[in-house]
Structure 1
């Protein structure tokens, strides 16, 4: 029996990119998967269908993580449906492409929207699942950060700042929620997802000299997330998966 058999996992932004890979890999290993989405209904439905086709359980659920009430409703629904939550993968994130030296374009509105989703959105989800995980006496949370949060270089300054906040919030929460709930973070370098379609040149420019001469696939990141969900001795860690980009 796999570590994931019949366990219940919520993946925010679970219909596209890395979230899609995480949802599929968890389901393949026997987990029950809640695929949260905000705008990508079509993609979330496609992933759900794919999972149900191979006899596993998937539930698509629309909620904007930036709105605490919608997050609470999602968690209540999951508890009503499955009775437990074993893990949360905070994958939902937004960005905007702004040249690093273009401070004028980093408006208040952009700062607020990125912070609302990327940082507070993750916190809303964690806050909502914690009471149930505490009651069970176990739970694992994985947040998706970025090397932008370490290097300061990314699609925009506000984006890099939100990712640095996620890395630090992971450490704070790992301490706050121990011993029963583990909190970790994956910090990917460049990943080949739809974010970069039409911006491939910028991606290669940003990553610079890659020792492994590879761009990670969503599956590479998903495997690392599964590792953090199951490793009982790992908490408060930010794992960098970047093909050597930050060396």
Structure 2
């Protein structure tokens, strides 16, 4: 980790996995931009915890679907705080739908999920790349999903959008090498608010887990930091799913 304070941006940084990653980075000495779209209260709670622990953070209301808003946010963080080393594309949405019911899928669902889960990640990478190139050891981490590997998840549009994000990871790894490493972490089921009220569906989707446990956001954050630091890895999709797909 850096000797002097450097900066990380975490989209969807106020809740769940994003919150855990924001806290973990702050504990490693990074100034953290906690990006949120609708979860202002959660983002502010994350910010307060970081500051109470002696860390540096700011929250930014930014819709990753809005390219110009993303560019303005990244520019402000980079200019105010200095070296940008890490971008974590965690912002994502889903729709809980009966998986086999194709008739339940509307066009607007495809557009909504792709705009956030795929184009949003690209917007952030596009805006951050010029700043990341200036920082040795820079990396982008996309938070994908095991649904993007298996094709099975909370809905077909969600699983497909995550598969596209995995593909985007490989493309960006080629486009941004050698200065910027780009990897993807594909969690299985994680104990977050996404599954509140849908616990039975979560257990059905995960099937038999060899480790007989559901991941916590902190588990995923620990693995995320490992990938951000992995100097010999780029273009990789790392599964963190408790043996679900073995």
Contact 2:85 2:136 in 1 (8 A): no
Contact 2:6 2:84 in 1 (8 A): yes
Q: For 1:86, what is the secondary structure of its paired residue?
A: strand
Aligned equivalent of 1:237: 236
| Count of residues in Structure 1 that have an aligned counterpart in Structure 2 | 246
Aligned equivalent of 2:53: 54
Could you tell me which runs of 5 or more consecutive residues in structure 1 were left unpaired when the two chains were aligned. none
Aligned equivalent of 1:141: 140
TM-superposed deviation, 1:83: 2.1
Aligned equivalent of 2:63: 64
Change in Cα spacing, 1:110 to 1:220, as seen in structure 2 (3 Å) is same
1:83 aligns with 2:85: no
1:218 aligns with 2:217: yes
Could you tell me which runs of 5 or more consecutive residues in structure 2 were left unpaired when the two chains were aligned. none
Between the aligned partners of 2:8 and 2:29, the Cα distance in structure 1 is 11
Aligned equivalent of 2:160: 161
Between the aligned partners of 2:98 and 2:117, the Cα distance in structure 1 is 20
Contact 1:141 1:184 in 2 (8 A): yes
Between the aligned partners of 2:135 and 2:25, the Cα distance in structure 1 is 20
Aligned equivalent of 1:38: 37
Deviates more, 1:111-120 or 1:97-106: 97-106
Q: For 1:44, what is the secondary structure of its paired residue?
A: helix
Aligned equivalent of 2:24: 25
Deviates more, 1:79-88 or 1:39-48: 79-88
TM-superposed deviation, 1:4: 7.5
Aligned equivalent of 1:246: 245
Deviations 1:60-119 (A, max 9, x none): 000000110110110111022112211000000000001111111111100000000000
Q: For 1:236, what is the secondary structure of its paired residue?
A: coil
Aligned equivalent of 1:190: 189
Change in Cα spacing, 1:153 to 1:4, as seen in structure 2 (3 Å) is farther
Change in Cα spacing, 1:133 to 1:14, as seen in structure 2 (3 Å) is same
Contact 1:4 1:31 in 2 (8 A): no
Deviates more, 1:2-11 or 1:46-55: 2-11
Between the aligned partners of 1:194 and 1:146, the Cα distance in structure 2 is 16
Q: For 1:135, what is the secondary structure of its paired residue?
A: coil
1:93 aligns with 2:81: no
Contact 2:137 2:231 in 1 (8 A): no
Aligned equivalent of 1:128: 127
TM-score (norm 1): 0.97
Between the aligned partners of 2:205 and 2:58, the Cα distance in structure 1 is 36
TM-superposed deviation, 1:138: 4.5
Contact 1:27 1:56 in 2 (8 A): yes
Between the aligned partners of 1:179 and 1:220, the Cα distance in structure 2 is 29
